[in-house]
Amino acid sequence: MDGNFSSNDISAVVDADRKHVWHHLIQHKPFETGEPRIIVEGKGMLVWDQNGKEHLDAVSGGVWTVNVGYGRESIADVVRDQLAKLNYFAGSAGSIPGALFAEKLLSKMPGMTRCYYANSGSEANEKAFKLVRQIAAKRYGGKKHKILYRDRDYHGTTITALSATGQDERAAQYGPFTPGFVRVPHCLEYRKHEQDGAPAENYGEWAANQIEEVILREGPETVGALCLEPITAGGGVITPPDGYWERVQEICTKYDILLHIDEVVCGVGRTGTWFGYQHYGIKPDMVTMAKGVASGYAAISCLVTTEEVFDMFKDDPSDPMSYFRDISTFGGCTAGPAAALENMRIIEDENLLENTTAMGEYMLDNLHALADKHPIIGQVRGKGLFLGCELVADRTTREPANEKIAQAIVGDCMQQGVIIGATNRSLPGKNNTLCFSPALIATKDDIDNITNAVDAAITRATA
């Protein structure tokens, strides 16, 4: 680490953090005596904390974000130059990086033509929900206003995005929620024994048909959109079963329902294609993305739509209510698209999609070898460098493992200098899918280092 901190400075930083910063997603009581962790520097796949300890980051900044790795001077340079030239202008004006990034992004998304800028995944999703509500008001007298979301999916932290969360433990304390959001069943084949009526064969088609049942129950004339993650992230790295997406697409077409794909995690290379939905031949009407768009070098999210959706908001210029009456103050900050454009250049020039596919397969093999050795691993899932291992107490009954074991494994890896994650199950208090999402630059050595640490940690946690 070559950070500029002396040990005196850093203890003042730790003190300031302990006294004044309210960290995300954490119970603070232990910080009254223990030290909060502060990450001081990063390079490639590595980060260093306040004590100079080196960590191999297997979760790209904690939450699937730093796709091109840390310490990218070229992104810092591009952003610096852009900020010095023009940092910001919002409202109805465009910007040079905004236009160029939209063009580049959409060149990777056949069928999609428009990009709307915002700052976070939640915000992009909220904007998509607003589009659906406005289309319902304009075209269907307000009737087609309901938005379907899936058990175990997650779409963000605001109250309306939480109204669309399929992870009860994340939402439970924050109601009352926004009306008009309706849940459809999950499609995790490994847990189909928990779903009434799930068949032994053709599970994918059956799981998609459950969506149709909800539509028929609610009344197709009331349903405006279906919002799904292409591969569910926080709900347990759930890859959809065969036949699922084909049927989902048919159902959306049949009932004139907009298909909104939430690519906040999968977007921009994470699964080895530019977008997760591109593995499945899906034709979305709206796509939202955030984390990997600029790999965390700037805050940017995008809502992308087809021209057909866009056209609905410009078809009647005489009506002052007909356009999208929405703004995002920091959607006008040029650092986001400038960083995002350079991020895409890096992915292309360094062949990171190809690397992600190859290293993802290599890591899957390693994880399957761990599953052969450790009965606590019930199933290995995922695509590209977006992988998970569901932990079970019993392989035959598939009873979930106690979340304390997952936490012990995560903690043990941290001690070994490897940062991994554990995602939530829908059941309160269950953290039982280990989660891996190293940067797209990962090498075989990095992957071996990650899986060796997990191997040792599982051995100790289950001894």
Residues that bind ligand PMP (CB under 6 A): 63, 120-122, 125, 154-157, 229, 233-234, 262, 264-265, 290
**Shortest spacing between CB 277 and ligand PMP, in angstroms:** 13
- By beta-carbon proximity to ligand PMP, the closer residue of 204 and 421 is 421
- By beta-carbon proximity to ligand PMP, the closer residue of 276 and 457 is 276
- By beta-carbon proximity to ligand PMP, the closer residue of 236 and 453 is 236
**Shortest spacing between CB 299 and ligand PMP, in angstroms:** 8
- Whole-angstrom distance, CA of residue 244 vs CA of residue 235: 18
Handedness of CA 23, 26, 29, 32 (dihedral sign): negative
- Whole-angstrom distance, CA of residue 345 vs CA of residue 97: 13
- By beta-carbon proximity to ligand PMP, the closer residue of 157 and 278 is 157
**Shortest spacing between CB 281 and ligand PMP, in angstroms:** 21
CB 223 within 8 A of CB 255: yes
- Whole-angstrom distance, CA of residue 290 vs CA of residue 276: 13
**Shortest spacing between CB 5 and ligand PMP, in angstroms:** 29
- By beta-carbon proximity to ligand PMP, the closer residue of 229 and 342 is 229
> What tokens appear for 352 in the block?
């990171």
At 166, give phi and psi (nearest 5°).
Answer: -100, 15
Preceding amide of 284 cis, omega within 30: no
- By beta-carbon proximity to ligand PMP, the closer residue of 120 and 295 is 120
Map tokens 């759930």 to a residue. 238
Helix axes of 335-349 and 352-373: crossing angle, nearest 10 degrees: 80
**Shortest spacing between CB 108 and ligand PMP, in angstroms:** 19
- By beta-carbon proximity to ligand PMP, the closer residue of 227 and 453 is 227
At 181, give phi and psi (nearest 5°).
Answer: -110, 130
- Whole-angstrom distance, CA of residue 336 vs CA of residue 341: 9
**Shortest spacing between CB 149 and ligand PMP, in angstroms:** 11
- Whole-angstrom distance, CA of residue 105 vs CA of residue 315: 25
Task: Classify residue 109 by burial, with Cβ atoms within 10 Å: 0-12, 13-18, 19+.
Answer: buried
**Shortest spacing between CB 35 and ligand PMP, in angstroms:** 26
**Shortest spacing between CB 16 and ligand PMP, in angstroms:** 25
How far, rounded to the nearest angstrom, does the alpha carbon of residue 28 sit from its chain's CA centroid? Answer: 25
**Shortest spacing between CB 29 and ligand PMP, in angstroms:** 24
- By beta-carbon proximity to ligand PMP, the closer residue of 231 and 458 is 231
- By beta-carbon proximity to ligand PMP, the closer residue of 160 and 451 is 160
- By beta-carbon proximity to ligand PMP, the closer residue of 164 and 409 is 164
**Please, which residues have CB within 8 angstroms of residue 225's CB and are 6 or more apart in sequence?**
128, 129, 132, 147, 148, 257, 258, 259, 260, 285, 286
**Shortest spacing between CB 136 and ligand PMP, in angstroms:** 22
- Whole-angstrom distance, CA of residue 316 vs CA of residue 142: 18
Q: Residue 441's closest CA among 381, 353, 367?
A: 353
- By beta-carbon proximity to ligand PMP, the closer residue of 262 and 403 is 262
> What tokens appear for 422 in the block?
């554990």
Map tokens 């962790």 to a residue. 37
Q: Which residue is nearest to ligand PMP (CB)?
A: 121
137 SS3 class: helix
**Shortest spacing between CB 264 and ligand PMP, in angstroms:** 3
Q: Residue 148's closest CA among 134, 164, 135?
A: 164
Find residue 418's DSSP bridge partners.
Answer: 56
- Whole-angstrom distance, CA of residue 436 vs CA of residue 438: 6
Map tokens 């900044």 to a residue. 61
